[in-house]
Amino acid sequence: MELEALNWKIAAKAGEGVMSSAKLFAKACKRQGLSVFNYYEYPSLIKGGLQSGQVTASLQGSTCQRRHLDLLILFHEKFIQDHLAEIDERTLIILNANAFDPSKYPDLKSKVVAINLTKIARDQGANPLAANIAALGISACLFEMDLQIIGRVVVEEFAKSKEAATANLKVLQAAFEIALSMVQQGNLQTFGKLISTGVDEQVLVSGNEAVGLGALAAGLQFYSAYPMTPATGLLHFLASKQDEYPLIVKHAEDEIGAINHALGASFAGVRAMTGSSGGGFALMVESLSFAGVAEIPLVVLEAVRQGPATGLPTWTSQGDLNFILGAGHGDFLRVILTPGDVYEHFNLSKLAVELAEKYQLPVLIMSDKYLLESNQTMPKPALLSENVRLSMVNNGQLGETALAEGEYLRYRASENGISLRSIPGQTNALQLTNSYEHDEYGFATEDAVTTKQAVDKRAAKLTSLQNDLPKPLYLGSPNPEKILISFGSTINVLRDVLLDEVASKAAVIHLPCVYPFPTSELETLLEGKNAEIFVLEGTATGQLAKLIQRETSLPKMHSILRYDGRPFYSEDILEFLQTGKISEQYKLI
């Protein structure tokens, strides 16, 4: 039997390496030509607690994790209790143990097979942590995968040590043969043969990596940050690319330093960015206002996790929306992009750098732990070209020929609110930049007329800016009974919902930008639709729904909220569409 999809999960204590094995399995599925979504859950502990990596792969396209598992590999028997909601009579559990007593779990419907993965690793002379590689060997056999493909993935992972690569390859082969022997003896049954298309044209990246790639494609030259989950992955990724691109990455002393380093770099004429999670971003907001009044281009990744305060450091949320909308004191224009899948993270991060440069303002990318730390396949992107490198020189900055046209005014009024920038040290183009309100030269002012003119000048950017922003995306039935509106990463789950026949009378609207809000575009999409409207969001108070109500004249909407640190699941939304009822893990208002 041929398999077009699988749902695989491995779970152990934090520190036992299961996240690495999950990514290796995801890469192997991708190499066979499948679309892949690789989702992680882990506690904010260095060791201990429950950590898991889940891989959903499909020939038709995998956009999110799914609940019901085909294969679950557990390193400790006690974790069975934590996964009862994900297993049924079709699920096979491989337990890293010598034996398993099913009488202890009388209600357990799935089959449990004990295989000592740690012993397999030790018998091959490998580190006991290579039990994770043994798990991959078992999995390759049960899904009848090409062992050579997964073997190459393992060798590439340990390429820096030939000894480690050889040892892990032996563990992989030994585990595969043990599982094959059990199948031949009737003690195990394979799921079928996972399809291999022979076409591997996609890349597997995390949301953080997609943000970094998009920024690099737009010519990012400077990134500064202080580590804070879940934005730390972007810092690590960009740091690893410094030898490949004209890029400097600064590990700042704190988040205040990080944003100010980026502002200094941008003022000096390079494309600059910073990033953090909510707690770190809270320290940046004074300087965000400075970027607004001084018209300094800046891109900020706000990587949302469950709060408030320290909250749940390694779990997801969208609860910073109101904070990001109002971050910084005073009135100043900003852009807030809310990308969905990893490909949109790439495209909108590229756009963010370009918008910041063109309109000389702060652009915020709002994402969350769920997608920033998950891996997903996407088309291979086009990265930094020579044309982009050349355009970086004068884009929005003052060319020497412009100096002959008259006196240089940094904040000269214009119809679209954009004025020419100069680079410090440029001949006859001295500029004054500070945090005060200012006149066209940049001199501080408290004059009422000049103040109004300066505020209006910056606000004038809005009209042309709106033409460059991504528009709401409509998917699904043209005449729906229910319309589901979301922003950010939730679209991954809703795309999966639309694949099911249950959703044939449903439609989805995704908002990739929430400020400036796409009022007319959203109202146009909903015009003439006689459907119930539900806003799905990872907040406790319906922040997106209230924003929509404030910015549009749309009729009453309902909200489906999740705020326990976990993402939405397509199975739950499908049950709601079918029955009108939602799991107690959600709130329906």
Q: What does the buried/exposed string (b/e) look like for 312-345 if buried means 16 or more CB atoms within 10 Å of the residue's CB?
A: bbbbbbbbbbebbbebbeeebbbbbbbbbbbbbb
Q: How confident is the model over 485-533, as pLDDT tens digits?
A: 999 999 999 999 999 999 999 999 999 999 999 999 999 999 999 999 9
| pLDDT value of residue 264 | 97
15 plus 149 within the same structural domain: yes
167 plus 20 within the same structural domain: yes
Check if the beta carbon of residue 2 is closer than 8 Å to that of residue 195.
yes
> End of a domain among 167, 200, 233?
200
Q: CATH number of the domain that 95 lies in?
A: 3.40.920.10
In 232-361, beta strands by DSSP E: 248-251, 272-276, 298-306, 312-316, 335-337
pTM score of the predicted model: 0.95
13 plus 108 within the same structural domain: yes
For helices 162-184 and 131-142, give the axis angle rounded to 10 degrees: 40
Query: Residue 244 is encoded by which pair of tokens?
Result: 């490949």
Q: Find the mean pLDDT for residues 144-154.
A: 95
Q: What does the buried/exposed string (b/e) look like for 210-230 if buried means 16 or more CB atoms within 10 Å of the residue's CB?
A: bbbbbbbbbbbbbbbbbebbb
- pLDDT reading at 330 higher than 80: yes
> End of a domain among 200, 224, 245?
200
Domain with 144 in it? 2-200
Please state the φ and ψ torsions of residue 515, each to the nearest 5 degrees: -155, 130
CA atoms of 202 and 382, how far apart (whole Å): 12
Check if the beta carbon of residue 37 is closer than 8 Å to that of residue 492.
yes
176 plus 259 within the same structural domain: no
CA atoms of 438 and 444, how far apart (whole Å): 4
For 67, other C-beta atoms within 10 Å of its C-beta total 14
Quickly state the pLDDT bin for 424 (edges 50, 70, 90): confident
Check if the beta carbon of residue 487 is closer than 8 Å to that of residue 320.
no
Q: CATH number of the domain that 213 lies in?
A: 3.40.50.970
Residue 85: alpha-carbon gap to chain centroid:
25
Q: Which helix (DSSP H) or strand (DSSP E) does residue 73 occupy?
A: strand 71-74
174 plus 269 within the same structural domain: no
213 plus 239 within the same structural domain: yes
Q: Residue 374 carries which DSSP code?
A: S
CA atoms of 550 and 544, how far apart (whole Å): 10
Quickly state the pLDDT bin for 47 (edges 50, 70, 90): confident
147 plus 210 within the same structural domain: no
> End of a domain among 391, 407, 429?
391
What is the CB-side half-sphere exposure of residue 10 using CA atoms within 13 A? 27
- pLDDT reading at 393 higher than 70: no
Query: Residue 399 is encoded by which pair of tokens?
Result: 């060319």
Q: Residue 223: what residue type?
A: Y
- Residue % of the chain over a pLDDT of 70: 96
Q: Residue 448: what residue type?
A: A
Q: Which helix (DSSP H) or strand (DSSP E) does residue 310 occupy?
A: none
112 plus 160 within the same structural domain: yes
CB-based contacts of 186, cutoff 8 Å, min separation 6: none
440 plus 355 within the same structural domain: no
CA atoms of 288 and 459, how far apart (whole Å): 16
User: How many residues comprise the chain?
Assistant: 589
332 plus 228 within the same structural domain: yes
Q: Residue 365: what residue type?
A: I
Total domains present in the chain? 4
C-alpha separations of 90 from 66, 155, 563 in Å: 14, 32, 30
For helices 207-217 and 232-239, give the axis angle rounded to 10 degrees: 50
Q: How confident is the model over 181-211, as pLDDT tens digits?
A: 999 999 999 999 999 888 898 999 999 999 9
144 plus 239 within the same structural domain: no
75 plus 195 within the same structural domain: yes
Q: In terms of Cα–Cα distance, which of 201, 202, 222 is closest to 210?
A: 202
| pLDDT value of residue 281 | 98
Q: Which residue has the tokens 């119809």?
A: 415
Backbone CA torsion sign across 227, 228, 232, 234: negative
CB-based contacts of 397, cutoff 8 Å, min separation 6: 269, 420, 421, 422, 423
